Amino acid sequence: MRISILVAGTSFLFSGSLLFGAVYLAIANHVPHMGGWSDPPGKLSLALDETMLRTPYIISILFMIIGVILLATAIIRELSNKQ
C-alpha cells in the first residue's frame, strides 16, 4: 500500500512539473508578441487567456499539490510505523 502511494505521489508531482514547465514555455514564446503591460490582471494572466492555457496551468498546480500530499502521507506513515 505504501509503495502505491509513493508511486502515485511521484507520478503526480512529475507530471505536474512537466505540464507546468510546458505551459511556461508556451507563455514565454507568446509574451514577446504581446502589446504593453496591463493592470490589474498583468501580463501572465493575459498570456494565459490569449493562449488558452489557464486550465492546464491550474491542473499542473493541482497535480503538484496532490503529489506532494501523497508523498508526505507515505513518509509520515513510514515514520510512524518505525516508532
Q: What are the tens digits of pLDDT across the range 13-62?
A: 999 999 999 999 999 998 888 776 666 777 888 888 889 999 999 999 99
pLDDT number for residue 68: 96
pLDDT number for residue 1: 66
pLDDT exceeds 70 at position 5: yes
pLDDT number for residue 43: 82
Q: How far apart are CA 27 and CA 21, in angstroms?
A: 10
All structural domains of the chain with their residue ranges: 2-82
Instruction: Compute the radius of gyration of the chain from its Cα atoms.
Output: 18
Supply the pTM of this predicted model: 0.84
